[in-house]
Structure 1
Amino acid sequence: MLKGATLIAGPTASGKSARAVELARRNGGVIINTDSMQVYSVLRLLTARPGEVEMAEAPHRLFGHVHPSQPYSTGGWMRDVEALLLDPILEGRPAIFVGGTGLYFRGLVEGLSPMPTIPDEVREHWRGRLAEDGPEILHRILQERDPETAARLKPSDSQRIARALEVVEASGRPISSWQKERTVPLVDGESAEKIVLEPDRAALARRISDRFDAMLEQGAIEEVKALNALALDPALPAAKAIGVPEITAYLAGEISLEEAATRAKAASRQYAKRQMTWFRNQLGPDWMRVAA
C-alpha cells in the first residue's frame, strides 16, 4: 500500500493540473492521472490533458495510454495503478494523483469491487445487441437475469446495462454480487494528503468558456476529425467526450461552429456541477476543501 501520496480532486477546468505540476516542482513527485477521459489517446485537447510544457516539468503517468476504441473501466485503471506502483520511478518520490473521476479516488483509498474478465466474444455480443435492439430491450433481459441491478438502473442507462449483462454471462454471477466484495486499497488514506478543489461557479463558468475557445483555436476540430476517422462505436466513452458530439454535428453541417461551442460549454458546465455534487456528497471530512 502506497503511503504519503497526495490526492487532488476537482471539477473540470478548476486548475487541478497546474496545482499538481506546482507541487511536483517542489517535492519531485510523479503525477498520476486520475481522470477517466484523460486516459485516451487522440483527444489531448478536448480532454484537457497536460500539454508538452507541463509534461516536461514533471513525470506524468497514465495519460493518453488507452486507444479510444478500447473499453476501459475503473477496474482497468486500478490494475494500471497497481502495476505502476512497481515502477522504479516511484522509488523515493511522492505520488500525486490528480483528476476529476470520483470513483477512481474512492477505489484508491477504499478498494474496489472485483470484476471478472469479460471474453471479447461476450462483450461484442452484448454491444452488438445494444446497437441493434437498444437499451430498453436489454434492460428487460437484465430484469430476468439480475433483477437487483436492473432495479437500480434506468432503462436508458445503456452502458451499465450492457456491462451488467456481460458480467452475468461471463461469470454466472450478477454484477450486484460482485459489487458487495472489496479489493485491498492501493493508497493509505490515513497518511495521504487529500484535497478537493471547490471553485467559485461563476469563475469556473468563465474558465470553461475560455478554455473551449482555446481548444478550438489549438486544433480541437482536427482532433474530432481524427477520432471520427476511427469509426468508433458511438457508445464508447471517447466518442461521447464533451466537444466530440458537438463538433461532429458542426462537421456534418447540422449546426454552426458557434452553436457547437455553445452546446459544448453548456455540457461542460453541467458536468462540472455533477462532479462538484459528487465530491461534496461522497468524499468525507478527511478531505481538505480548497477554494480554487
Structure 2
Amino acid sequence: MTGTAQPAAILVAGPTASGKSALAIELAERLGGAVINADSMQVYRELRVITARPGDADLARAPHALYGVRPAAEAGTAAWWRGEALAAMEAAHAAGRVPILCGGTGLYFAALTEGLSDIPPIPAEARAEARRLLAEEGPAALHARLVERDPETAALLRPSDSQRLARAFEVAIGTGRGLRAWQRQGGTGPAPWRFAAVVLDPPRGALRAAIAARWAAMLTGGALAEVRALAEQNLDPALPAMRAHGVPELLAHLRGTMTLEAASARAILNTGQYTKRQATWFRHHALAPPTRMSFFQSRWGSYTQESESLLENFAAFVEKRD
C-alpha cells in the first residue's frame, strides 16, 4: 500500500441474508461513510422487493449509491459496475465521506481490487447466437459446446450456470479466444484505492433461517406484484434480472405451473445453495487476498458483539497515511 497517494475504502462482503446492509449502514453512520451497492441484482430498478434493497428508513440513515439504477432490460456487467462504482467512490471522497461498498457479488469486488481483463467489444451477432443456443438447447448443451470451443473456461463453469456460460461462449466465438485466456492477459489493473474488508460468514443453520425469514418478508412486502410487473415487460429470460433469486420461482407460480408454497420452498432452497457458493468464494479470497487488501474477518453477529473493535480497526485504516 502506498498510503499517502491513495484514499481508503471499505468492503462489506458475504452471502445473501448475512447482515451486510445492516453492518454497512452502521459503519457509514459511525465513520461518516456512503454505502455503495456491490450486488449484481440490486442494481436493477424493477427488483426493489425481491432483492431486499435498502428501504426508505435505511436510505435516511446514510447516503446510498448504485441501487436501482439500471433497467432490467439492460444486462449489467462487471466492467460497467466498476466504472460506476469508481465514480461513486470519487464522489463520496470529494464529499468527505468514506466509500463503503456492500454486496455479495465476488466478481464486483475482484473487479476493484484485482482489475478486469481487456476483452474487446463482442459483436452483436455473437451475443445473439449465444442467447439463441441457450434458449433453444439449454445450459447443459451450451456447456458442451463451450467444452469444444474453450475447454479451459468450461472446466471452471457449472453446466447449469446459464448466464456465465452464455458470456463465455459469446467471448469465444466473438473474439476467437477463450475467456480465461483474456483474463490472464490482464487489463484495467487494481483501482487506485486502499481497501480493507469485513467478510460475514454465518453458520449455515442461522443463514437458512435468515433466508426463510427474508423470503416471508418479501412476500408480505409485495414481491409477487413486483415479479408480475416484471413479467409484463416480456423480457429475454436469459437476462440477469429475470434470473434473480425468487424471480423464476414466482414466474412459475404466476404461470400456474407451481403453487406459491412450492415456489417459496424452491426459492429458499436455491438461495441457500447459492449462499454456499458465495461463502466459498469469499472464504477463498479472504484466506489469500490481494496484497493491496487487508481483511478483518467477522462471523455471524460479531459486528454487534465486537462493533467497537471493528470500528476502531476501520477507523485506524481510514486515517492511516503511510
Same fold (TM > 0.5): yes
Residue type at the aligned position of 2:297 = R
Give the 3 Å change call, closer, same or farther, for CA 154–26 of structure 1 in structure 2: closer
Where 2:275 maps in the other structure, the secondary structure is helix
Q: What corresponds to 1:36 in structure 2? A: 40
Shift of 1:289: 1.7
Contact 1:2/1:186 (<8 A) preserved: no
Question: Helix, strand or coil: the match of 1:224?
Answer: helix
Deviation, structure 1 residue 218: 0.9
SS in 2 for 1:180: helix
Is the 2:249–2:267 contact (alpha carbons within 8 Å) kept by the matching residues of 1?
yes
SS in 1 for 2:287: coil
Q: Identity over the aligned pairs, expressed in percent?
A: 49
Q: Is the 8 A contact 1:30 1:90 kept in 2?
A: no
What displacement does 1:261 show? 1.6
Counterpart residue number, 2:277: 274
Deviation at 1:239, TM superposition (A): 1.0
Change (3 A) 1:148 1:272: closer
CA RMSD of aligned residues (A): 2.3
Q: Which runs of structure 2 are paired with 1:194-213 in the superposition (5 Å)?
A: 194-213=197-216
Report the alpha carbon displacement of residue 153 of structure 1 after superposing the two structures with TM. Answer: 4.1
Letter in 1 for 2:112: L
1:140: Cα distance to partner? 5.1
Structure 1 residue 131, shift from structure 2 partner: 1.9
Aligned partner letter, 2:190:
P
**Contact in 2 for aligned 1:242/1:267 (Cα 8 Å):** yes
Aligned residue-pair number:
290
Structure 2 CA distance, aligned partners of 1:207 and 1:31?
Answer: 22
Deviates more, 1:58-67 or 1:160-169: 160-169
**1:43 Cα offset (Å):** 0.9
The one-letter code of the counterpart of 1:10 is G
CA contact (8 A) 2:15 2:104 kept: yes
Change (3 A) 1:88 1:269: closer
Contact 1:7 1:98 in 2 (8 A): yes
Contact kept? 1:116, 1:170, Cα under 8 Å: no
Q: In the superposition, relative to structure 1, how do residues 11 and 161 fare at CA in structure 2: closer, same or farther (>3 Å)?
A: closer
TM-score calculated relative to the size of structure 2: 0.81
Go from structure 1 to structure 2 and tell me whether the alpha carbon gap of 1:220 and 1:113 turns closer, same or farther (over 3 Å shift): same
For the residue of structure 2 that corresponds to 1:32, the secondary structure is strand
The structure-2 alpha-carbon separation of the partners of 1:267 and 1:140, relative to structure 1 and needing over 3 Å to count, comes to closer
TM-fit CA distance, 1:144? 4.8
Aligned to 1:185: 190
> 1:90-169 counterparts in 2 under 5 A?
90-135=94-139, 137-139=141-143, 141-169=145-173
In 1, distance between residues paired with 2:61 and 2:20? 15
DSSP 3-state at the match of 2:228: helix
Could you tell me which runs of 5 or more consecutive residues in structure 1 were left unpaired when the two chains were aligned. none
Distance in 1 separating the partners of 2:257 and 2:220: 21
TM-score relative to the length of structure 1: 0.89
Distance in 2 between residues matched to 1:143 and 1:20, nearest whole Å: 41
Partners of 1:209 and 1:143 lie apart in 2 by: 37
Secondary structure, aligned partner of 1:287: strand
* Greater mean deviation of Cα atoms: 132-141 or 17-26: 132-141
Residues of 1 paired with 2:89 and 2:43: CA distance? 17
1:25 alignment counterpart? 29
Amino acid at match of 1:103: L
Please tell me whether the aligned partners of residues 92 and 98 of structure 2 are also in contact (alpha carbons under 8 angstroms).
no
Given that 2:92 and 2:99 are in contact with CA atoms closer than 8 Å, whether structure 1 keeps it comes out as no
Q: Which residue of structure 1 lines up, in the alignment, with residue 8 of structure 2?
A: 4
Deviation at 1:125, TM superposition (A): 3.2
Does the 8 Å CA contact 1:139/1:161 hold for their aligned counterparts? Answer: yes
Find 1:176's aligned residue among 168, 175, 180.
180
